[in-house]
Each structure stands twice: as C-alpha cells, then as structure tokens.
Structure 1
Amino acid sequence: MDHTDVAAAARRIAPYARRTPVLRAEVDGRAVVLKLEHLQLTGSFKLRGALNALLGGDRPAHVVTASGGNHGLAVAAAARLLDLPATVFVPESVPEAKARRIEAAGAKLVRHGAAYAEASAAALAEAAESGSLYLPAYDHPLVIAGQGTCAAEAVADAPDVDTLVVAVGGGGLAAGTVLGGGGRPTVLVEPENCQAMHDALAAGAPVDAAVDSVAASALGATRVGDLPFAVVRHARSVLVSDAELLAARDRLWEEFRLAVEPAAAVPFAAWLAGRVPGGLACLVICGANTEWMPR
C-alpha cells in the first residue's frame, strides 16, 4: 500500500463524501491547524473507508460489520448511499446516540456482547453463514486507503503543516494518515489504559490490550490490526489521560464552538500538553457522535 491507493480512493469517494475544511488558529501563543473531520457525513472520518471498500471491489449483495459505533454508522450510511442492505453488530455498551443513528441510516442493528471483540466474532459468524461481505473497521487495505483521504485533503489545503496528529483505535486512520500525509511525520495519540497501538509498538507486534477510557466507544479496540500496524510501526506514539482529553474537549467548545466526542479531542490534548513535536501541527478532529451537551 502507498499514496497511490489513497489517490484512487479519493477519486472513488468524491461523489459521496464531504471535503471537510481546515481551521487555522492560535492557541496559547502557538499556531495550529485543525482538520474538521467531525463535519464529515455521519459525523466521523469512518465514512471514507466504508465507501472506498464498498466501491473498490465487486458489489456485494449484503454487507455485515461490527463496530463500537462510528464505523457501523459509516457502513450503514455508505450502504444506503449505494442502495445496499447492511447489518451492524455493536456491543451492548454502545452509546445510544450511535445506535440510534445506525438504525436511522437504515441498517439492521444487532447488540451482542460486552465488548467490540464479541460483537466482531458474532458479525463474522453471521457473514460466513449468510455469504455476506464482512467489512472490518480497520484491518482492510481499502478501508485504510479511504481513511487516508482525510490527511491528503489536509496537506493539500494546508501544505505548510509539518506534523499530522491523529487519535488511534484499531489503526485504520493512523495508517491512512501515514500513507496520505505526503511523507510528514504522524503522531499517534491514545488515552491511557486504552492504548492498543502504544502497547503493540512497544511489543513489536499487535498484542491484546485493556480498554478503560471515556473515549473507549470510539478508540476501544482491544488489538490493533495487522495491516495498520505494518504501516505505522515507525510512527511516534503518545498517551493522554482521560482528564486531559476531557479538558481538551471542553476547550474545543469554549474556544472554537466545536462540539465533539471525547476521542476527537485526543490529538488536541496531546498538543496542549506539549507532546507533539514540530512547528505547525495538523490535528485531525475526527468525530462528533456524542450525547454530550456543552455547558
């Protein structure tokens, strides 16, 4: 996989996905660029990968997936745009805001298990039994290439950025950002105790990891994908606390009137804490699917 796969994905999804804007700002005397991907259709970057995966191969009769929420909503919306039936398995802990939107997009919603891994196993079994296409949330080349279009847009619109910063769950956006970022360094940010990529990089291979964070509904992969790990294995990994990411979420609202889910504030939290190197960073604000209401 390389940047040509991202370019091909950009052409495929252009009729359906939104080109989200960048915002240049100054915070605490430092310049920063925010890629406002929470304004994407479905409220997260996940639509990009879902569309590219469904458009980049043979048209399936039916698509099945598992998700903590945002990927399921993306698959549901992409399937609706392409007039395909879809079934989405989610853990029983899925936030109601995400479950409601998945059903509103027209997909069949199945709640199964306490964690994403259990929902994924059930979805794989369903796809095998029914002969449907199973679309993984991150461990798939077309999904990764689709997610890479977010970074490609950001560097095209703000070519002076020297570092890209993304939140990490299973690794699809992280890998896509490495591929689509035009060679710029990518910083991978995770919450403490929800750090599957950080642990994988330390171990030299994907490993099982604990999931315990307020951002777990979006970043709660218990193990990163093999394909994403192979792409990002030399990237910088940093951690933030739940207190830091929630403070960053609140600050995005107070200073910019951006209402986002906790996972979307993770890059901003790392940047505020001084854990992001470089002169001008681009932070991907990745999702807005939350019940949280600003005070």
Structure 2
Amino acid sequence: MTWNSSKTEDPSAPFAVTPDDIRAAHRRIAAHVRRTPILETPSPLAGAPPLSLKLECLQHSGSFKARGAFHNLITRPAPAAGAATASGGNHGAAVAYAADKLGVPAKVFVPKISTPAKVARIRACGADAVVGGANYAEAQMRCDAYVATSGALKIHPYDARETVAGAGTVALEWEEDLERLGLPALDTVLVAVGGGGLISGVAAWFAGRIKVVGVEPEGSQALRAAFHAGKPVDVPVQSVAADSLGASRVGDLNFAIARRFVGEAVVVADAAILEAQRWLWRQASVVAEPGGATALAALIGGAYRPETNERVGVLVCGANADLATFAALF
C-alpha cells in the first residue's frame, strides 16, 4: 500500500523543514537523547496487521520533547540569563533536563492546569518553575514578558524550526529501526497533536511517502480547526489531555508543514483516550499520560479506521502521568 500527498504547496516555502534538516538535527542530538525502542504488538482491531508502537514515552524527561530541547540549546547558544520557555509540563521538563545537562540556567512558565507531577519533574531538574495563568497561552505571555526584560533565550515548544527538526528525529529512527529489524514498512502513522511540533516534524521527515494522521482530543482541535479555516485560528481547550495537548492555536510553521504533508486530522473523545491508556498498560505494560495515549485512541474509539492489511504505527509520545490518577483508571 502506498500513499502520496495531493497537496501542492511549494516545498521551498519559507521556514520549511526538510529531511536533510532532520538528519542534521539527529547528528547533533544523538549523543544526548535515547534511541527509544519500537514494539510490535497485536492491534486492538480484530484481524488487523500487528501494530508498531514507537515508545517515545521512554525518552529522557518522559516525552519526545527532549529532542527539540537539546536541538535548540545546542544550535542556539544561551546568554548569561539562560533559557526560558512556556509549557504545559512536558516541554518544560525537557528544557529543564537539557539545560541541566548542558549547564544552562532555565526558567519555565507553567499554567495552573499542569499536573503536580510535571511541575515537580521540572523543579527536580534544577529549573525555576513559575506557575501562573489559566492555560498555556497565558503562560506563554508571561514567558514572553520575561524574555523581553531579561534577554533570556526563548525556546518555543512547537513553532520553531529547531524544535520541529528535533521532533522529526523520532520518525527518522522509527523508519531506520524497522528496516534494521527486517520489519514491514509503515503505511500510516498516527500522531497526537497539540501545537503541532511533533506532527510537523514527523510529517517533514516522511514528506508524503506515507500517510500521517493527526489525532486530537475533541476538546482541543487546533489543527483540525486550522485545516477548516485555511489558517491557524484560536480554539477552546477542555480535555483530559489538556496539560500536554492544550495549545489553543497551532503554530504557523507547524501548519505550513501539516497542510502539505498531513493526510487528515481526526478527533477522539476523552473516554477513548482513557481506554487507550488502559490498553497500553494491559497489552504492553506501558505507562502513558493521556496525551501520550491520544494517538492510539483513534483506533480504540474508531476515529481512524484502517483499510484491510494497512500497516499502522502509533507514536506513544509521553509518560508523565500522575500515578494516582493513572492507578484510578483500573
């Protein structure tokens, strides 16, 4: 089975991220990040081919975000004021981790919706976690104000070339490791979407060679709304996965890549996300936070229905679950 993008946007558009950019990013960060494993497991859909899981939940700091954080800090030297970012939790933990390893001070602006576990992880890495603002957008405004007065290096969680190229290294490894292990190539990959950093990196790597499907919670549909409007627009955010997929607007760069290389965006109910968390634990002993299980929820809840014999990969992108809440699922 093959899939080709029918989008016609100019591949030389400003701020594009190419496979060569992603290869270069991988060379820069390979010594600092884990090459996370892939797991072949029976699909939750009866009669379907085995599912390929890319377990990026096992990455340093508990999510794929470490890739973009390291790539930013390696390619953009930080001033004396250090680095600053806004985050629902995972990106902040990644910046805190990478900054600590590279000897850079970091300040992370976190909204009130972030879980205590994620705030604790940020602080455990030595960063200054500043909690305030009702949502990610308000935390970003607080971060921008701090950067303007301090001169700190701003590390955007998704709408930056360095971040996207770092995220795209997930797909590079996935494809290389399938070939190395003699496993069948993928027809489709399912990727959770918040602000669009991960899916745009994955889509930039595959560049139309396979189908990339975005998966969003019903209560946080930034990419789907942008597709409908033809441009990024603001959306309301209310979901069990809001602390990691709670961007109220998809990034400009991310949308430019997605509109060319992402096949479709589907939405899933919170109930399907919680069931996907249960399935990952029962089937594979994998702890995933709600955002980390959202891509799988597209299969669990029926939002994405593969064709017969379609080879599907699911990116499990984060593990920073509150353990008490996770235990309550069972």
1:261 alignment partner, one of 281, 286, 289: 289
CA distance in 2, matches of 1:51, 1:276: 36
CA distance in 2, matches of 1:270, 1:81: 36
* Counterparts of residues 28-39 of structure 1 (less than 5 Å): 28-30=46-48, 31-39=50-58
Residue 282 of structure 1 and its aligned partner are, at CA, apart by 1.0
Partner of 1:41: 60
* Counterparts of residues 43-62 of structure 1 (less than 5 Å): 43-61=62-80, 62=82
Say if 2:79 and 2:151, in contact at 8 Å, map to a contact too.
no
1:283 aligns with 2:314: yes
Say if 2:191 and 2:314, in contact at 8 Å, map to a contact too.
yes
1:33-92 CA deviation, whole Å, 9 max, x = no partner?
000000001010000001111111234331000000000000000101110000000012
Partner of 2:232: 206
Partner of 1:191: 217
Matched residues, number = 295
Q: Which moved more, 1:13-22 or 1:55-64?
A: 55-64
CA distance in 1, matches of 2:211, 2:255: 15
Q: Which moved more, 1:127-136 or 1:50-59?
A: 50-59
Partner of 1:163: 188
Q: Provide the secondary structure at the position in 1 that maps to 2:326.
A: coil
Partner of 1:293: 326
Partner of 2:127: 107
Say if 1:139 and 1:172, in contact at 8 Å, map to a contact too.
yes
1:83 aligns with 2:103: yes
Q: Provide the secondary structure at the position in 2 that maps to 1:51.
A: helix
Partner of 2:197: 172
Q: Provide the secondary structure at the position in 2 that maps to 1:190.
A: strand
1:246 aligns with 2:274: yes
Structure 2-normalised TM-score? 0.87
CA distance in 1, matches of 2:170, 2:75: 17
CA distance in 2, matches of 1:229, 1:293: 32
CA distance in 1, matches of 2:272, 2:210: 26
Partner of 2:154: 134
Partner of 1:14: 30
Say if 1:169 and 1:221, in contact at 8 Å, map to a contact too.
yes
CA distance in 1, matches of 2:126, 2:271: 36
The amino acid that maps onto 1:173 is L
The amino acid that maps onto 2:58 is L
Partner of 2:6: none
Say if 2:78 and 2:153, in contact at 8 Å, map to a contact too.
no
Unaligned stretches of 5+ residues in structure 1: none
When the two chains are superposed, the root-mean-square deviation of aligned CA atoms in Å is: 1.2
Residue 276 of structure 1 and its aligned partner are, at CA, apart by 4.6
Structure 1-normalised TM-score? 0.97
Q: Provide the secondary structure at the position in 1 that maps to 2:42.
A: strand
Question: Runs in 1 of length 4+ with deviation above 6 angstroms?
Answer: none
1:24 aligns with 2:40: yes
Say if 1:187 and 1:276, in contact at 8 Å, map to a contact too.
no
Partner of 1:152: 172
1:115-139 CA deviation, whole Å, 9 max, x = no partner?
1111100101101101111111100
Say if 1:164 and 1:181, in contact at 8 Å, map to a contact too.
no
Residue 157 of structure 1 and its aligned partner are, at CA, apart by 1.4
Q: Which moved more, 1:182-191 or 1:169-178?
A: 182-191
Residue 185 of structure 1 and its aligned partner are, at CA, apart by 1.4
Aligned identity (percent) is 46
